[in-house]
């Protein structure tokens, strides 16, 4: 595939965008990062061919600049808050767009609408309580505890909390409401399970193909609710169960929503053989499953989305023909998650990146940055794609990576939230 001469805008500037920019440049694309940040807050600008300091919420201004520079497309990226701007710019500039405003609202930006759509199509989902800021007594009296409370306009596990009493629910609801842009807060049934699954589809010319499925593993001692991941483990051992039970309804929902050419994912819990899906995303997935799928199955969803962004077509691969979510080798996204403190010194990452088992690395933090105690991915400094021949070999590799890295805080203390041992890594791999 030769895309030489095509121009592509990236609205984000994170380490994830940097990975996509490097690949787009390999395909001959001229890359542009367009946002209002300087390079220190938008590191992808350092490697892009062009860097625009613009406010992309100014739709008319963006469209004018796109036409002046003969831009061919905009890459969808990884950030939900960018999607409303992305779809409006694409529509007004006449550029390829992988979804409609309605589709993005249901599948990325409005958790309540997503679950309503799940119920419409028979996709299993946790029960949601119809609470609003009035906190009506007649609704509060129906709540069965514990419940999960979370903002409808956040992703990456931000703001999610378990509430065990009415006092906790009311207090946290008011706190979230005060800081929420949309003023939409979700209160739903708490599913008591540590089995959390993420399922990814590639939709090509309206055909839904199951591309990957993985399980989230949390650091030891972090509790059961919404803690940051330490491993995403591929493939999930629950793929066959999912295909027998929930997948037909999920595909009917995607087809009913009219998805055409895109990547879409759903997240949920498994309890007693039952799936409960609570969230979705019509965008690139942060774990970048295609890094593994490219090596193991010969199909690269990133290439397909880059091509679609600048041509309006997906011709560089056939997902339905080549996808196999039951990867023949064990793979993980290893999130180097940190304790709170100021990052003072980092060593070992160069040695880790040279390991043949490490297929890709992304950097999110650097020395001098402060890490806060949160349950989101904001605590991650590195995200590594790691693959090995067997679970035992992969566990040994993860142990080696963990003990090669040294990340110190202002007091000289190691910041990794958990240093992995062989036994601990193997336990997580076998429980996925």
Q: What is the pLDDT of residue 225?
A: 45
Last residue of a domain, one of 97, 117, 143: 97
Kindly state whether residue 223 falls inside one of the protein's structural domains.
yes
Residue 359 has pLDDT above 90, yes or no: yes
Kindly state whether residue 287 falls inside one of the protein's structural domains.
yes
Kindly state whether residue 118 falls inside one of the protein's structural domains.
no
* Total-model pTM: 0.88
Residue 182 or 397, more confident: 397
Kindly state whether residue 120 falls inside one of the protein's structural domains.
no
Kindly state whether residue 39 falls inside one of the protein's structural domains.
yes
348 and 401 part of one domain: yes
In 97-220, alpha helices (H): 101-104, 111-121, 137-140, 166-179
Beta bridge partners of 234: 331
159: domain CATH number? 3.30.1490.20
Kindly state whether residue 102 falls inside one of the protein's structural domains.
no
145 and 243 part of one domain: no
322 and 333 part of one domain: no
46 and 16 part of one domain: yes
393: domain CATH number? 3.30.470.20
- Considering the chain, what percentage of its residues have pLDDT values greater than 90? 80
Mean pLDDT score, 344-351? 97
Helices vs. strands in the chain: H and E counts, helices first: 15, 19
The total of structural domains in the chain comes to 4
71 and 132 part of one domain: no
Last residue of a domain, one of 189, 214, 229: 189
16: domain CATH number? 3.40.50.20
Q: Token pair 């169960």 is at which residue? A: 241
Q: pLDDT tens digits for 63-122? A: 999 999 999 999 999 999 999 999 999 999 999 999 999 999 999 988 889 999 999 999
91 and 181 part of one domain: no
306 and 183 part of one domain: no
Q: pLDDT tens digits for 278-312? A: 999 999 998 999 999 999 999 999 999 999 999 99
Q: What is the pLDDT of residue 316?
A: 94
313 and 203 part of one domain: yes
Q: What is the pLDDT of residue 223?
A: 53
401 and 338 part of one domain: yes
Q: Which residues contact 300 (CB under 8 A, 6 or more apart)?
A: 290, 293, 294, 316, 317
**CB-based contacts of 85-91 (< 8 A; 24+ apart in sequence):** 85/11, 85/56, 85/57, 85/59, 86/11, 88/59, 89/56, 89/59, 89/62, 89/63
345 and 375 part of one domain: yes
Cβ atoms of 211 and 293 closer than 8 Å: yes
Q: What is the pLDDT of residue 376?
A: 66
Beta bridge partners of 371: 341
Residue 132 has pLDDT above 60, yes or no: yes
Domain that holds residue 387: 329-432
Q: How confident is the model at residue 222 (pLDDT cuts 50, 70, 90)?
A: low
Last residue of a domain, one of 274, 304, 326: 326
Q: How confident is the model at residue 331 (pLDDT cuts 50, 70, 90)?
A: very high
209 and 254 part of one domain: yes
Residue 126 has pLDDT above 60, yes or no: yes
271 and 319 part of one domain: yes
Mean pLDDT score, 373-400? 92
């Amino acid at each position: 595939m030769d895309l030489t001469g095509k121009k592509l805008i990236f609205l984000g500037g994170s380490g994830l965008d940097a990975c996509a920019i490097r690949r787009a440049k390999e395909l001959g694309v001229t890359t542009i990062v367009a946002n209002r940040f300087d390079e220190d807050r938008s590191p992808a600008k350092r490697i892009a061919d062009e860097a625009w300091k613009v406010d992309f919420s100014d739709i008319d201004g963006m469209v004018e600049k796109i036409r002046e520079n003969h831009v061919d497309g905009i890459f969808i990226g990884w950030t939900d808050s960018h999607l409303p701007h992305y779809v409006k710019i694409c529509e007004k500039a006449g550029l390829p767009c992988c979804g409609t405003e309605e589709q993005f609202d249901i599948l990325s930006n409005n958790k309540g609408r997503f679950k309503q759509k799940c119920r419409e199509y028979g996709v299993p989902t946790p029960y949601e309580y119809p609470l609003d800021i009035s906190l009506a007594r007649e609704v509060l009296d129906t709540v069965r505890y514990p419940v999960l409370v979370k903002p409808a306009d956040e992703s990456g596990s931000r703001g999610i909390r378990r509430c065990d009493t009415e006092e906790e629910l009311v207090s946290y609801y008011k706190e979230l409401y005060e800081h929420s842009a949309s003023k939409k807060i979700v209160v739903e049934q708490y599913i008591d399970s540590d089995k959390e699954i993420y399922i990814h589809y590639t939709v090509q010319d309206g055909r839904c193909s199951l591309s990957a499925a993985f399980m989230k593993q949390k650091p030891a001692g972090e509790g059961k609710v919404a803690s940051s991941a330490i491993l995403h483990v591929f493939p999930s051992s629950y793929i066959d169960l999912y295909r027998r039970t929930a997948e037909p309804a999920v595909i009917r929902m995607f087809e009913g929503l009219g998805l055409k050419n895109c990547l879409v994912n759903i997240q949920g819990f498994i309890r007693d053989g039952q799936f409960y899906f609570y969230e979705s995303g019509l965008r690139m997935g942060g774990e970048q499953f295609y890094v593994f799928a490219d090596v193991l199955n010969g199909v690269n969803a990133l290439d397909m989305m880059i091509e679609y962004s600048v041509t309006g077509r997906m011709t560089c691969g056939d997902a339905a023909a080549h996808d196999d979510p039951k990867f023949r080798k064990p793979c993980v996204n290893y999130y180097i998650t940190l304790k709170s403190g100021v990052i003072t010194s980092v060593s070992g990452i160069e040695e880790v990146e040279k390991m043949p088992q490490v297929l890709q690395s992304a950097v999110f933090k650097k020395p001098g940055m402060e890490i806060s105690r949160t349950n989101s991915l904001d605590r991650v400094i590195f995200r590594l794609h790691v693959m090995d021949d067997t679970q035992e070999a992969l566990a040994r590799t993860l142990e080696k990576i963990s003990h090669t890295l040294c990340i110190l805080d202002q007091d000289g203390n190691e910041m990794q939230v958990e240093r992995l041992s062989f036994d601990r890594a193997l336990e997580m791999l076998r429980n996925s």
